């Protein structure tokens, strides 16, 4: 017996709603405005315009950068490889993505034309030592030689001086790190996303899955452009991240974008005394340390002893 009443009520309500919606443009405006208020979406920067210079108040070591925006950096270590790196460059070029390559010096010397192409296509080149030794087992002169030879080989190959280094296996003593920073002006770059693509056998699907699940705003993703499976994983991995709203910057761009303006400290230099953009050694007075790091270096060292 309630059914006819219910039906009548439903029809009446539907008719009223219909009349309100069709008769009141205000209702439609309110409905449009709601999602924007609930989900504010700050604009991602145009990565083509982001600076490629490290800020003076950068940190000494990074495993990721602090940002709420979906800006990330993907990095490729241990190359260049004469076959796989050009294949990767094709994939990146098709997608308009810029990456950071942590190059091994002896490979730079062997394949300088690949390094030249990396830079010509807008990617960042960085220092990953000459022969990939464990720094913690080397004396200061050997570490300096490893980085100096590589720095010079990169400049010779492409004309661009690296601004960053990544210690092989992510392992470096704090005393070594301090000395490297003083000598070369490099911050140490680690990572927060590790697909362990060097483990064999390792499928492209596993590389994709790891990067898919670990990446968050400000991530620095570790990959190696010397493994087939890594290259095979890249089309779906890059397209997945892009579809989820992530945008790729080089590591230097990511650091520059996410470093807050210096609040404490000396006044900004006048234009006449500004550090030239191509100077690779920033003033050490602006460098500050990061307490996060002693932990990260130790962990990475232990983990990475098995990696290439
Ligand atoms: Ni490496």
Which residue in this structure is represented by tokens 């191509």? Answer: 278
What is the CA(223)–ligand 1 centre distance, in A? 9
Mean pLDDT of the chain: 82
Confidence band for 264, pLDDT divided at 50, 70 and 90:
low
Q: What sign does the dihedral 281-282-284-288 (CA atoms) show?
A: negative
**What is residue 28's predicted lDDT score, i.e. its pLDDT?**
43
What's the pLDDT at 43? Answer: 83
Q: Which residues are catalytic?
A: 77, 224
What CA–CA distance (Å, rounded) separates 179 from 173?
10
Q: Provide the pLDDT for residue 38.
A: 58
Q: Of 18-22, 48-52, 220-224, 244-248, where does mean pLDDT reach its minimum? A: 18-22
Give the pair of three-digit tokens for residue 68. Answer: 């709420």
Residues 229 and 202: beta-carbon distance below 8 Å: yes
Res. 307: pLDDT tops 50: no
Residue 303 scores a pLDDT above 60: no
Q: Output the CA 78–ligand 1 centroid distance in Å.
A: 5
Residues 6+ apart with CB under 8 A from 186: 127, 147, 162, 163, 164, 165, 180
pLDDT at 58: 96
* 12 or 174: which leads in pLDDT: 174
Report the predicted TM-score, pTM, of the whole model to 2 decimal places.
Answer: 0.75
**Region 108-125: what's the mean pLDDT?**
98
Domains and CATH numbers, the chain: 62-260+291-304 (3.20.20.370)
Q: Which of 26-35, 117-126, 208-217 has the lowest mean pLDDT?
A: 26-35
Query: How far away, in angstroms, is 129 Cα from ligand 1 center?
Result: 9
User: Ligand 1 centre and the CA of 177: distance in Å?
Assistant: 17
Question: For residue 102, how far is its CA from the centre of ligand 1 (angstroms)?
Answer: 8
Which of 250, 194, 240, 211 lies closest to 65 in space, CA to CA? 250
Task: For helices 140-158 and 174-184, give the axis angle rounded to 10 degrees.
Answer: 40
């Amino acid at each position: 017996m309630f059914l006819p009443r219910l039906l009548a009520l439903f029809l009446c309500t539907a008719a009223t709603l219909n009349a309100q919606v069709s008769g009141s443009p205000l209702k439609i405006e309110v409905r449009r405005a709601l999602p924007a208020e609930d989900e504010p979406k700050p604009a991602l920067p145009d990565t083509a315009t982001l600076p490629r210079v490290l800020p003076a108040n950068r940190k000494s070591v990074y495993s990721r950068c602090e940002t709420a925006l979906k800006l990330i950096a993907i990095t490729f270590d241990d190359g260049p490889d004469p076959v796989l790196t050009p294949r990767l460059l094709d994939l990146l070029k098709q997608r308009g993505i810029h990456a950071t390559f942590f190059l091994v010096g002896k490979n730079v010397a062997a394949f300088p034309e690949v390094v030249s192409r990396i830079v010509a296509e807008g990617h960042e080149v960085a220092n990953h030592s000459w022969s990939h030794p464990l720094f913690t087992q080397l004396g200061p002169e050997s570490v300096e030689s490893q980085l100096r030879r590589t720095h010079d080989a990169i400049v010779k190959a492409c004309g661009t001086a690296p601004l960053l280094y990544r210690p092989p296996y992510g392992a470096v003593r704090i005393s070594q790190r301090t000395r490297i920073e003083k000598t070369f002006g490099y911050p140490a770059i680690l990572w927060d996303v590790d697909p362990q693509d060097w483990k064999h056998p390792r499928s492209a699907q596993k590389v994709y899955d790891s990067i898919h699940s670990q990446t968050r705003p400000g991530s620095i993703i570790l990959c190696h452009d010397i493994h087939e499976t890594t290259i095979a994983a890249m089309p779906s991995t890059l397209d997945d991240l892009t579809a989820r709203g992530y945008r790729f910057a080089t590591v230097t761009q990511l650091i520059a974008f996410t470093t807050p303006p210096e609040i404490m400290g000396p006044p900004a230099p006048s234009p006449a005394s500004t550090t030239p953009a191509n100077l690779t050694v920033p003033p050490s007075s602006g460098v500050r340390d990061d307490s996060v790091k002693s932990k990260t270096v130790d962990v990475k060292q232990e983990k990475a002893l098995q990696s290439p």
